[in-house]
Structure 1
Amino acid sequence: MSTRTLGAEGGSSHRKLTIVFHHAGGGHRSTADALKDALTSQECPWEVRLLNVQELLAPLDVARRATGLHIEDAYNLILRKGWTRFTPQLLVLLQTTIRAYHSRVVKLLRACWAQHPTDLVLSVIPHFNRALAESLRGNGPRTPFVTLLTDLADYPPRFWIEPESEFVIAGSEQAKRQALAMGHAADCVFQSSGMVLKPQFYQKHAVDRASERKRLGLEPDCLTGIVLFGGHGSRVMIDIVKRLNQSGVAVQLILICGHNAKLAAKLKSLKTRKPMLVEGFTSNVVHYMSLADFFIGKPGPGSISEALQCHLPVIVECNARTLPQERYNAQWVTEMGYGLVVKSFREIAPSVERLLAPSTFEDLRRNAGTYCNRALFEVPVILEQCLNRAAQLAP
C-alpha cells in the first residue's frame, strides 16, 4: 500500500492528522511511524495519514533536476559512499532548485489537501516547510501547520525553521532558541525532552548481560562498545576494529552493519584479540545497546539519542565530512558531558582509553544516566495544544 494514502485508524469522527515525511535518511520515517503508532493507540485517537512528499512531488522531480537522482536516493547514496564532504555544496543546489519550483510545489500540495482534508499537518522533514506552510493558506479555513525537528538544531537558512512556520516543536534548548530568534511567538514554540525514538526505547529491558553476552559469543565481563553507523554501516568500522585490536585496549565490540552485507562479511573475516559480534540489519538495536557499555558512531541525532536513552556514553566524530546539520550534535555531546568528540576515528584507540579512564568513565556514565527522553509521549500532547491554540487564533 502506498505510504501516500495509508488507511486511517478509527472512525471518521476522529481528528485528522497528516504527517509529512520522506526516506532521505531513516530518522524521518521512523519518527512518523512512531508517532502514528502513539497517536492512533491513545485514549482519544487521531486519524493519521502518512504523506511521502517524494511521491507527491514526483511529477516535478525537484531533486532529480538538481542531482540526477530522487532526493531520497541522492541523500542515501551520499551516506553509503561517505561523500558527505560535498554535502554543503549539494545542499545549496537542492535548496536553489526547491525555491525555483516553489509555486509548483505549493500547487501540488494544495491539490493534495483538497483531495485529503486534514485538521492538522505535521512536518518531520526539512527544506519543504515554507511550501507546506504556504499551501495550507487560502484553501478555506486555515489548517494548522507544525514543524517537528528531527535534528537537535536547525541549520539555517532555509533548512528546518521558516518564518512561515506556525508552530515549532524543538528537541533541544538550542533549537528552541533558534525558533524564538527568528521571531516566532513563545506560545507557538514547544520543547520536547529530545528526539522522538522508536517505541521499544521507552520500554524497560531486563536482561542478564553476562549470560546474554556469553550466549552471543562475547566475554561476559569485558567492557563492550557498540559501533553503529546508520542503516548501511560504514567502512570506517573496519578501521575502528583494526586500530582498537592493535592498541591493546581491553574492549570487545558489537558492530551493527545494517543492510551492508559486504561490510559484515569483511568484519567477520578479521582476526581480533577480543571477541566481537557482527550483526546485519536488525530491528532490535535496543537489545544490543543494553549489552554495551559505550557507543561509537557518527553524530546522528537518532543514534546519539538512542545510545543516551540506554545510558551509554558516546564517542562521535566531527570534521569536514560530518553532515552540516549534525555538527551541532557533537558540540551538544561535549556541552552536556555525554561523551567524547574526535576529529577523526584514526584517534579511536587513545579516545577509548581516555573514555574508560575510571574518573572520566564514571562522570560520563553518570551524565548519560540522567538522560530521560519522553518525546514520544510529549509530542501528542503538544499537538493537542497546537490544535487548541490554532482554534483560539482563528478569526
Structure 2
Amino acid sequence: MTTVDLIWFNAGGGHRAAALALEQAIHDQGLPWRVRKVNLMQVLDPLGYFRRITGMEPEDIYNRRLATGFTLGLAQELKLLQGMIRWTHALMVQRLALHWRTTRPDLVVSLIPNFNRALHDSLALAAPGVPFVTVLTDMADHPPHFWIEPDLAQHLVCGTAYAYAQAMDAGCSPDRVHRSSGMILRPEFYAQAPIARTEERQRVGLDAATPTGLVLFGGTGSRAMKGIAARLPKTPLILMCGRNEALAAELRALPAQAPRVVVGFTTEVARWMRLADFFIGKPGPGSLSEAVHQGLPVIVTRNAWTMPQERWNTEWVREHGLGVVRRSLRSINAAVDDITRNLPEYQARVRRIENRAVFEVPRILAKILEQTRQPARAASRVPVLGLVESSSEHREMAAADRPAISEYPALLRGCPSKAVSKIPKLGRAKRKERNLVAPSIVTKKW
C-alpha cells in the first residue's frame, strides 16, 4: 500500500487543520493510501528537550503572540527564525534522513513553511525517488525561503493565481507547479445538511432579522475581540473564542444592547458561520476562506500588526470586492455600516468564489505519484533535479565540499563536527549508491 506522510506542526491552527482535512478527503475519495500525519517538531525533538528546558512547546511562543494579539514585529522574528533554520540545517537534515530511512514513505507532503529545504534535502538523501510536495496553506508566498524554494525539485500546490505566478516568476519548473482553486477546507464545509436558519438563530438567542457578525481570530481567539465587542454594543455578534476560556469569560461580562453568543471550543465552526451574515477577523488564509465559502462578506484589517504572510490576503479581498479592509479596528463601526448597507451586493460577489481545493489536492497528489512511477522517469526519480553518474570532475568538486561524514555531502558544511552525532554505517546496497551524486545538493549554497 502507498504510504503518504502529511507534515504539519502546531504554529497556528491552520497547518494541522489542513492535514486533517486532506487526510479525510483522501479517505473519502477511496484512494488506496496509508496516510500518516507527521508532527515535524516531534521528529526533530522526539525526547521533548525544548519542553523540558522551557516548559513549553516551540510553537507555543508563536501561538501566545496570536492569542494576545501582539503580532507587531513578527516580520523581524521571521527573519531570525529563518536564520536559525539555516544555521541548524545540517543537523535537521541528519535527523530527518534517519526518520525517512526508518519510516519509508512513498510520498511526502509538507503543509508547513520555512522547513521545506530541510525536508526536501533529507528525503532526497534518505529515499531517492520519493516525490516531495509542498501544499501552500497561505494564499501567497513571503520570499525568500518561506514556501517556495525554486532551486529544488519541489512540487508546489498553489491555491491562488498570485501564488502560482510567484512560483513561476521565481523560476520553478512548470511541470512541478500545480494550481488548486483555494485553500484546503475541512470536508464538513461542503457536506452540510439544510438548517432552518431563522429558527436556529432564535434558538441560540440571536435576532432573526438583524444582520449578525461572526468574530473569529483563529483557534485561540485574540484580545482584539474585546475591543470589537466594546465598539459594537448595538450589533448582534457571535464571538468565537476557541480554547481561550479566559477571553470567553471576559466577553460574556461585557455589557451589550444587542444579543450576543460567546462560543468556546467547538467543532461546528461551519454551522456557526451559517448563522451569521458577515465576518470580522484577521486576514488569515483559513478563517478568511471558510467565511467566504460560507457566503460571508468580510471585515479585516491591514497594518503593521498584520502578519507578513497574510498581508496579500487583504489585496485578494479588495480585488474581488469581498468585503472591507481597514487600517484599524477603531473604525469598525463604519466598516459594519458599509457591509450591512450593501449586504446583498457583497454577498453576490462572495458567492462567485468557488473553492474545491480539498477535493482537487488528492487528485494532484495521485497524478504526481503516477508520473513518478512511470518507467520513462526511472532515470530521474530523485527530487533533486535527478541523480547523475558522477564523473571524475564532478567527484572532485563534491570532494572539495564534503566533510568527514560521507553520507551527508555538503549538507553538513558549516556545522561544527562535534555537534553531529555518528551516523549508522551504510549497508551494502547503500554503499553502492556512493557513485551517485545529487548535484543540486552538493553544489548549492543558500
TM-score for the superposition, normalised by structure 2: 0.81
Count how many residue pairs are aligned between Structure 1 and Structure 2. 374
Shift of 1:69: 6.2
Residue matched to 1:166: 154
CA displacement 1:85-115 (0-9 Å, x = unmatched): 0211211111111100101111111101110
Contact persistence 2:104–2:127 (CA under 8 A): no
Q: Is 1:372 aligned to residue 372 of structure 2?
A: no
Q: CA, structure 1 residues 356+375, in 2 after alignment: closer, same or farther (shift >3 Å)?
A: same
Contact persistence 1:316–1:341 (CA under 8 A): yes
Q: Is 1:307 aligned to residue 275 of structure 2?
A: no
The percent identity for this pair of structures is 47
Residue matched to 2:419: none
Structure 1 residue ranges, 4+ long, deviating more than 6 angstroms after superposition? 59-64
Q: CA, structure 1 residues 217+234, in 2 after alignment: closer, same or farther (shift >3 Å)?
A: same
CA distance in 1 between partners of 2:127 and 2:254 (Å): 63
Contact persistence 1:62–1:101 (CA under 8 A): no
Q: Is 1:271 aligned to residue 255 of structure 2?
A: yes
Counterpart of 2:266, as a letter, is: T
**Structure 1: tracts of 5 or more residues without a match:** 1-13
CA distance in 1 between partners of 2:49 and 2:160 (Å): 31
Contact persistence 1:124–1:150 (CA under 8 A): yes
CA distance in 2 between partners of 1:385 and 1:62 (Å): 39
Contact persistence 1:224–1:292 (CA under 8 A): yes
Residue matched to 2:95: 108
Match of 2:170 among 170, 178, 182: 182
CA distance in 2 between partners of 1:44 and 1:265 (Å): 44
Contact persistence 2:101–2:127 (CA under 8 A): no
Q: CA, structure 1 residues 62+129, in 2 after alignment: closer, same or farther (shift >3 Å)?
A: farther
Q: Which structure is richer in relative contact order (CA contacts within 8 A, separation 6 or more)?
A: 2
CA distance in 2 between partners of 1:40 and 1:288 (Å): 26
Shift of 1:387: 1.2
**Structure 2: tracts of 5 or more residues without a match:** 380-446
TM-score for the superposition, normalised by structure 1: 0.91
**Higher Cα radius of gyration:** 2
Residue matched to 1:6: none
Counterpart of 2:231, as a letter, is: R
Residues 61-140 of structure 1 aligned to structure 2 (within 5 Å): 70-139=57-126
CA distance in 1 between partners of 2:328 and 2:193 (Å): 33
Q: Is 1:221 aligned to residue 209 of structure 2?
A: yes
Residue matched to 1:36: 23
Q: CA, structure 1 residues 28+152, in 2 after alignment: closer, same or farther (shift >3 Å)?
A: same
Match of 1:49 among 36, 46, 49: 36
Contact persistence 1:146–1:165 (CA under 8 A): no
Residue matched to 2:265: 281
Match of 1:257 among 214, 219, 241: 241
SS class of match (2:295)? coil
Contact persistence 1:22–1:125 (CA under 8 A): yes
Q: Is 1:242 aligned to residue 209 of structure 2?
A: no
CA displacement 1:156-190 (0-9 Å, x = unmatched): 01101112142100010011011111211222111
